[in-house]
């Protein structure tokens, strides 16, 4: 249990932090948390600084990245003249659902003399038993997330086995919610769903078949994306309700390899993993032994003959493809090219280095390479570097420039 720590006659000033993560939660969740924190602070005799009430809405507690409200309070707490003495939070789960992050933040706040108070457990970071209790509660918060993830995964598998959609929107289909048979409603008042089925969109299905036909007919992924862009065919992003975007080679590549278009759902190919360094979620490929292949004939858009033709064409082209290196491919070799990232196309994108089938390295617009720019002008690495070095050498011949460079060098060495 917490104590009302008396460290002088001056009352403590506190900030308030709230968070909720799900779209299904009501916005009033924030208001409820603020009210509870305010009442707890008043009970302790603390002064709530309204101007330092911060909230993060629809933000996961598993990561710190993207939580602007908490980030601002943490930065203020580390200032010498921090305006508050502590931060009041409704529950440890609102602070976060990752024990490592949570402990790290409590250590930082303790070092800077800022206390934490969690109202649901009357948990005060100035209490000698705080760390032990915080670890207990934060571990329960982590376990809750793991349990939710397991339940979601089981539900997705069940949906996949029934032939329903187990993931988001896929180009070529629209998702149709299947209302709950018993009329059950979620907390936000919406009718619960028993699943989501996919229904073919004829206009998008026609584009998919055309992409397969063009590739089987000899066009490359880049050429296909440029052709679709020139004709003004709405891209997959536009179809998903996002701002207009252009077709690009990665999108074409994904479509050509998507087995859903022949009525086969390959489920459980990947899993979401939290990157603790980058503070973001990443998709990692699962072992092939964990994949589940489910036939869903009603999803078919592409015929077996056309699909097999594309599979053979992909294999043939991969067999004769040249070795990639440099720039766009983000390999170790790209660091050898001094002009990478320095040249810009009129479209605004940078020029990147790539290896040609004839054995030379050339620079070209990164947008052109993925089908988002029509500027196909490229230049050999040898020609570019010779011209660049010649221009640099001519500039260095200027005595005033040499003197300036020498002066700046000496200043940095002092």
Model confidence at 174, pLDDT cuts 50, 70, 90, reads very high
Model confidence at 410, pLDDT cuts 50, 70, 90, reads low
State how far the Cα of 312 lies from the Cα of 318, in Å rounded to an integer. 10
Within 13 Å of residue 355, how many CA atoms lie on the same side as its CB? 14
CB within 8 Å of 265: residues ≥ 6 apart: 160, 163, 166, 259, 293, 294, 295, 296, 299
Query: For residue 239, what pLDDT is reported?
Result: 58
What are the residue ranges spanned by the domains of the chain?
Answer: 13-143, 199-320, 327-396
Query: For residue 3, what pLDDT is reported?
Result: 41
Query: For residue 16, what pLDDT is reported?
Result: 97
Query: For residue 317, what pLDDT is reported?
Result: 83
For 199-320, CATH number?
3.90.1750
The alpha-helical segments, DSSP class H, found in 236-357 are 236-239, 249-256, 304-320
Model confidence at 259, pLDDT cuts 50, 70, 90, reads very high
State how far the Cα of 216 lies from the Cα of 308, in Å rounded to an integer. 9
Q: How many CB atoms lie within 10 A of CB 73?
A: 24
Mean pLDDT on 37-44: 95
State how far the Cα of 381 lies from the Cα of 378, in Å rounded to an integer. 9
Q: Are 340 and 326 in contact (CB under 8 A)?
A: yes
Cα–Cα nearest to 170, from 253, 240, 221: 240
Whole-Å CA distances, 117 to 5, 17, 49, 81, 198: 12, 10, 15, 20, 48
Model confidence at 163, pLDDT cuts 50, 70, 90, reads confident
Query: For residue 50, what pLDDT is reported?
Result: 94
Task: Report strand pairing: 351-355 vs 270-275.
Answer: unpaired
Q: How far is CA 265 from the centre of its chain?
A: 24
Q: Are 80 and 113 in contact (CB under 8 A)?
A: no
Model confidence at 2, pLDDT cuts 50, 70, 90, reads very low
Q: How many CB atoms lie within 10 A of CB 212?
A: 22
Residue 106: phi and psi, rounded to 5, are: -65, -35
Model confidence at 322, pLDDT cuts 50, 70, 90, reads very low
pLDDT greater than 60 at residue 246: yes
State how far the Cα of 374 lies from the Cα of 17, in Å rounded to an integer. 50
Query: For residue 230, what pLDDT is reported?
Result: 87
Angle at 89 between CA 84 and CA 92, to 5 degrees: 135
Span of 24-38, 157-171, 398-412 with lowest mean pLDDT: 398-412
Task: Report strand pairing: 86-89 vs 13-20.
Answer: parallel
Model confidence at 272, pLDDT cuts 50, 70, 90, reads confident
Higher pLDDT, 245 or 175: 175
Q: Are 44 and 116 in contact (CB under 8 A)?
A: no
Model confidence at 5, pLDDT cuts 50, 70, 90, reads very low
Query: For residue 359, what pLDDT is reported?
Result: 57
Q: Are 69 and 38 in contact (CB under 8 A)?
A: no
Higher pLDDT, 360 or 64: 64
Residue 212: phi and psi, rounded to 5, are: -60, -40
pLDDT in tens, 364-383: 887 776 677 877 777 776 67
Model confidence at 309, pLDDT cuts 50, 70, 90, reads very high
Mean pLDDT on 241-256: 83
pLDDT greater than 60 at residue 237: yes
pLDDT in tens, 57-93: 888 888 888 899 999 999 999 999 999 999 999 999 9
Q: Per DSSP, what are the bridge partners of residue 178?
A: 195
pLDDT in tens, 85-140: 999 999 999 999 999 999 999 999 999 999 999 999 999 999 999 999 999 999 99
State how far the Cα of 305 lies from the Cα of 283, in Å rounded to an integer. 32
Higher pLDDT, 319 or 75: 75
Query: For residue 6, what pLDDT is reported?
Result: 47
Residue 19: phi and psi, rounded to 5, are: -155, 140
**What mean pLDDT is reported for the chain?**
83
Model confidence at 238, pLDDT cuts 50, 70, 90, reads low
pLDDT greater than 70 at residue 22: no
pLDDT greater than 80 at residue 216: yes
Write the class of the CATH domain 13-143. alpha beta
* Maximum average pLDDT range among 89-103, 235-249, 334-348, 396-410: 89-103
pTM for the predicted model, two decimal places: 0.61
């Amino acid at each position: 249990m917490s104590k009302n720590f008396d460290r002088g006659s001056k009352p403590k000033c506190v900030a308030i932090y709230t968070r909720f993560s799900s779209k299904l939660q009501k916005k009033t969740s924030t208001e409820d948390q603020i009210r509870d924190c305010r009442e707890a602070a008043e009970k302790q005799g603390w002064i709530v600084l309204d101007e330092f009430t911060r909230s993060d809405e629809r933000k996961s507690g598993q990561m710190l990245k993207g939580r602007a409200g908490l980030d601002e309070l943490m930065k203020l707490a580390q200032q010498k003249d921090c305006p508050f003495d502590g931060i009041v939070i409704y529950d440890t789960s609102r602070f976060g659902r990752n024990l490592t992050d949570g402990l790290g933040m409590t250590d930082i706040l303790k070092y800077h003399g800022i206390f934490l108070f969690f109202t649901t457990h009357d948990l005060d970071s100035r209490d000698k038993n705080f760390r032990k209790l915080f670890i207990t509660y934060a571990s329960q918060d982590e376990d809750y997330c793991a349990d939710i993830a397991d339940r979601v995964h089981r539900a997705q598998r069940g949906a996949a086995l029934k032939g329903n959609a187990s993931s988001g929107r896929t180009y070529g289909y629209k998702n149709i919610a299947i209302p709950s048979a018993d009329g059950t409603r979620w907390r936000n008042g919406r009718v619960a769903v028993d699943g989501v089925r996919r229904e073919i969109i004829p206009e998008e299905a026609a584009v998919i078949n055309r992409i397969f036909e063009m590739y089987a007919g000899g066009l490359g992924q880049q050429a296909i994306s440029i052709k679709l862009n020139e004709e003004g065919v709405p891209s997959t992003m536009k179809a998903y309700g996002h701002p207009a975007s252009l077709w690009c080679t990665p999108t074409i590549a994904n479509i050509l390899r998507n087995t859903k278009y022949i009525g086969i759902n390959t489920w459980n190919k990947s899993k979401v993993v939290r990157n603790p360094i980058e503070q973001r979620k990443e998709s990692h490929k699962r072992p092939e032994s964990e994949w589940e292949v489910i036939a869903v004939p009603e999803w078919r858009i592409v015929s077996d003959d056309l699909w097999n033709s594309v599979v053979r064409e992909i294999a043939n082209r991969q067999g004769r493809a040249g070795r990639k290196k440099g720039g766009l491919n983000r390999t170790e070799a790209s660091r050898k090219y001094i002009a990478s990232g320095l040249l810009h196309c009129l479209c605004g994108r940078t020029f990147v280095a790539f290896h040609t089938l004839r054995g030379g390295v050339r620079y070209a617009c990164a947008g052109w390479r993925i089908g988002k720019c029509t500027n196909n002008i490229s230049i050999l690495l040898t020609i570019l570097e010779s011209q660049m070095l010649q221009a640099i050498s001519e500039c260095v011949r200027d005595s005033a420039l040499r003197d300036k460079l020498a002066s700046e060098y000496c200043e940095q060495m002092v």
